[in-house]
Amino acid sequence: MMTAKKTTPAKKVSAGKIPSTKGGRVWKFGDNIDTDAIIPGRFLTLNNAGELAKHAFEGTRDEFARKVKDGDIVVGEKNFGCGSSREHAPLALIGGGVHVVLAQSFARIFFRNAVNVGVLPIVCHDTDQIDDGAEITLDLKHGYVEVSGKKLAIEPVPPFMQGIIDAGGLVNYAKTLKEVPACTKSRR
Amino acid sequence: MGATIVEKIFSRKCGSDIRAGEVVMTPIDGAMIHDITGPLAIQKFYEMGGKHVFDPRRVIMLFDHQIPADSLEAAKNHVYMRKFAAEQGIHNYDINEGVCHQVVLEKGRAAPGEIVVGADSHTCMYGAVGAFATGIGSTDMGFALKFGSLYFKVPETIRAEVSGKFQRRVGAKDLILAIAADIGADGATYQAIEFTGKTLAKMDMPGRMTCCNMAIEMGAKAGIVPPDKVTWDYMRGRRKMKSFDLASDDDAKFAEKRAYNVADLEPQVAVPHNVDQGVPVSKVAGTHIDQVFIGSCTNGRYEDMAEAAEVLGKKKFDPKVRVLVIPASRDEYLKVLESGLIERFVKAGALVEAPCCGPCMGGSFGLIAPGEVSLSTSNRNFKGRQGSTEGMVYLCSPATAAASAMKGEITDPREV
C-alpha cells in the first residue's frame, strides 16, 4: 500500500508536465472507488481520452462528466482505483481535465497507470477532511494541499516514478531510451 | 536469511540476489494482450517509437471480452490488432480459443519460475503454475512490448497456509472468498500472496487457478502456489522443460503469515458491492435472483461445470432465472461437451455460450437492468460491473450457483 506510515513529506514532489492546480473544484468520493465506477466496461472500446471522459463515473455520479473542468481534482479515501487494469480509467479523468487524484491510498495498477499517462496520484492521509465541491489548491513545492482554510500534508511519490512524471509520462520517458539496462536496480 | 518464492524468481531471472522492496528493470518471459487493453497498448508501443516487438514468440494475443465483435468499435479494434499481429509475426489466437488467462495456461505460455505480464488485472492467475504474473496497464504493456523488460517493485509476500478437508460441495472458490473477506480489498496491496499448506498440496490445478485469479481482489500484485507434482504434471505436454525446486525458504521474511482451516468452512457468497464482503451462504439464503452466470477465468473450467452439474443432477433450473453457462476455453468447452454436460445444462433450461468473458465485465452481453440481481461465479461484484449501477451482483462457487439457479434464490448447495 502506498500509505505504509504517516510521514511528513521531506522531499518536494515535482509535477513534471502536469499543470499546476490552483482553485480547482474537489470531486469527493469514498473508499474502494473501482475502475468500473470510473469508466464502465461497456465503454472500453473507446481509446480516446476525450471520448472516454464523456462517460467518466457514468451511473455512479452522472453530473461529473457534464460539469468537470480543467484543473479539478478527484479526491478519494482508501484503495482508490481498485479492480481492473484498464488504463481507460486515468484517461477518462485526464480527458475531463483532471490531472491530479488525491487519496489516502491507491490500488497498485491504477497508481502506475496514472503516472504513466500523466495523472499525478498523490497520497494524502487526511482526505476525510476534504469536502465535495470545495476549492482546492495544490502546492507541490511545499508538499501540501490547501482546502477550506486547512493545509493538509501530502506524500512524495516514489523516486523511481518521479523520473516518469518529470518526463511527462511513460511514453515520453520511453522515447528517450534506445534500450533498457536489464536487471539494474533503481532508487526505491 | 532465506528468500521467498517471489524473491527467488526475480533473483534467478537476474542472476543476483534480489529482495522485496527493490525496484528492478526485469526481463519478462511473456506478455499477454487482449481485445480491450490491446489496442491502447499497441498505440503506446508505436508512440514510444516501437518498430518491432521484443520477441514475437513471447507475445500472446487473443480476443475474449467482446467476441464475436458485438459492436462496430469492437470489430475495428479486432482488425487493428490482427494487423499488428501480422506485421509483427505474433501468433494471434483471435476469437477462437477462449478467455485469455485460461488459454495462456493451457497452451503452456506461462511456466514455473517465469515472469509474465498481462494487460489485464487477473493475470495473477498464472501463479497457479508457480509463475510470477501480474496485471499491468496499456502504457506499461507498450513499454514491455518494445523493450522486453519492465520496472518491478519486488513485492513482499503474505503466506496463506491452508489446512483441513473441504466439506462436500465446498471448495476453492469458497476458500478464496473467505480469504478475501479476511484480508480485505486492499489488505495485500503491493504484496504477493503465497498459497501453501496441506489443502493446497491436495488441490487440483483448476482450484489453484481460482485462488490465484482472485489475489488481485485483495490488491495483490501476484498470487502464487509453489510448484509441486500437480504443477509439473499439468506442465507435461504443454511445455518442454525439466522440473526444478522452487519454494520459499522456511526462514524467508514474510510480510505476515495467516493460517486458514477449511474443515468448518461454509459455502461463501460475496455480497454487493465488494469482493471482500464474503459471508456464509446461510446469511443470504433466500435472496431473490434474476440471472446466474457460471463461467469466467475464475470458474469456467470443466471441473467447475462438473461441480455445477453434480448439484443439478437430472433436475431443472427455475424457469424464472436466466442461467448462462460459458466454458472458459475451447478445450474446456470440448471436455464439457464430450462429457454430456452441455446437453444436461441445456435440457435444464440454461443458455450455453461459446468461450468468452461473457457477462463478467458488463461490456458485452448478459447485462442486468436496474433492480436486477445477478449471482455469478466470476471475480467482481462492483457496483455496475455487470450492467446497471442499480443492479446487484453476488459472487459464489459453481455449486452454489447451480443450487441457487434451481431454487430461484440463493441456496446452500449442501441442502439441494
pLDDT digit string, tens, across residues B282-334: 999 999 999 999 999 999 999 999 999 999 999 999 999 999 999 999 999 99
Distance CA A109, CA B121 (A): 8
Asked if residue B193 has pLDDT above 70, the reply is yes
Asked if residue A120 belongs to a domain, the reply is: yes
Min distance A83 CA to chain B CA atoms (Å): 7
Going by the DSSP 8-state scheme, the letter that residue A135 receives in this structure is E
The mean pLDDT value for A110-122 works out to 94
Neighbours of B283 (CB within 10 A): 13
> Quick one: CA dihedral B343, B345, B346, B351, positive or negative?
negative
B66: closest chain A residue by CA:
A45
Amino acid at B324: L
Would you state the pLDDT for residue A188? 59
pLDDT band at A18 (very low <50, low <70, confident <90, very high): low
Contact between residue B139 and residue A113 where contact means Cβ atoms under 8 Å apart: yes
B135 in contact with chain A, both atoms CB, cutoff 8 A? yes
C-alpha cell at B389: 449501477
State pTM to two decimals.
Answer: 0.94
Asked if residue A137 has pLDDT above 50, the reply is yes
Going by the DSSP 8-state scheme, the letter that residue B166 receives in this structure is P
Neighbours of B202 (CB within 10 A): 12
Average model confidence (pLDDT) across chain B: 97
Distance CA B262, CA B264 (A): 6
Stated as kind and residue range, the H or E segment containing B368 is: none
Which of B74, B147, B186 lies nearest to residue A180, judging by beta carbons?
A: B147
Asked if residue A8 belongs to a domain, the reply is: no
The mean pLDDT value for B362-371 works out to 92
To the nearest 10 degrees (0 to 180), the angle between helices B302-312 and B330-338 is 30
Distance CA A8, CA A15 (A): 18
**For residue B169, how many C-alpha atoms fall within 13 Å in the half-sphere facing its CB?**
21
For residue A171, the chain B residues in CB contact (below 8 A) are: 44, 47-48, 139, 142
Distance CA B103, CA B96 (A): 10
Would you state the pLDDT for residue B275? 97
**Could you tell me which residues are beta bridge partners of residue A24?**
A136
For residue A108, the chain B residues in CB contact (below 8 A) are: 189-190, 219, 221
The mean pLDDT value for A61-82 works out to 96
Amino acid at B223: G
Mutation to test the B interface, candidates A31, A33, A36, A176, most B Cβ within 10 Å? A36
Would you state the pLDDT for residue A4? 41
* Bond prior to B68 in cis (omega within 30° of 0): yes
Taking the CA atoms of residue B75, residue B77, residue B82 and residue B85 in that order, the dihedral angle to the nearest 10 degrees is -170
Give the per-residue SS3 of B326-347: ECCEHHHHHHHHHCCHHHHHHH
Would you state the pLDDT for residue B135? 98
Distance CA B308, CA B171 (A): 12
How many domains, in total, are found in chain A? 1
Min distance A21 CA to chain B CA atoms (Å): 25
DSSP assignment of B28-70 equals: -SEEEE-TTTHHHHHHHHHHTT--S-S-GGGEEE---SS-S--
Q: What is the ipTM of this complex?
A: 0.92
Distance CA A165, CA A122 (A): 12
Distance CA B380, CA B220 (A): 15
pLDDT band at A162 (very low <50, low <70, confident <90, very high): confident
* Each residue's pLDDT tens digit, B26-46: 999 999 999 999 999 999 999
**Could you tell me which residues are beta bridge partners of residue A153?**
A144
B78: closest chain A residue by CA:
A45
> Which residue in the block uniquely carries the three cell numbers 487457478?
B209
* Each residue's pLDDT tens digit, B216-230: 999 999 999 999 999
Mutation to test the B interface, candidates A77, A82, A161, most B Cβ within 10 Å? A82
* Each residue's pLDDT tens digit, B59-77: 999 999 999 999 999 999 9
Min distance A19 CA to chain B CA atoms (Å): 21
Distance CA B400, CA B278 (A): 13
Partner-chain contact A113 B139, CB within 8 Å:
yes
Contact between residue B398 and residue B416 where contact means Cβ atoms under 8 Å apart: no
The mean pLDDT value for B50-64 works out to 98
To the nearest 10 degrees (0 to 180), the angle between helices A108-117 and A159-167 is 30
Distance CA B165, CA B186 (A): 28
Asked if residue A18 belongs to a domain, the reply is: no
Would you state the pLDDT for residue A141? 83
Contact between residue A116 and residue B136 where contact means Cβ atoms under 8 Å apart: no
To the nearest 10 degrees (0 to 180), the angle between helices B72-88 and B38-47 is 50
Asked if residue A176 belongs to a domain, the reply is: no
Asked if residue B111 has pLDDT above 90, the reply is yes
Min distance B288 CA to chain A CA atoms (Å): 23
DSSP assignment of B236-258 equals: TTT-----------TTB--SEEE
Q: Which domain holds residue A144?
A: 24-156
Burial class (CB within 10 angstroms; exposed 0-12, middle 13-18, buried 19+) of A181: exposed
Contact between residue B121 and residue B222 where contact means Cβ atoms under 8 Å apart: no
A109: domain CATH number? 3.20.19.10
Go through the domains of chain B in sequence order and give each one's CATH number. Answer: 5-240+252-261 (3.30.499.10), 268-415 (3.30.499.10)
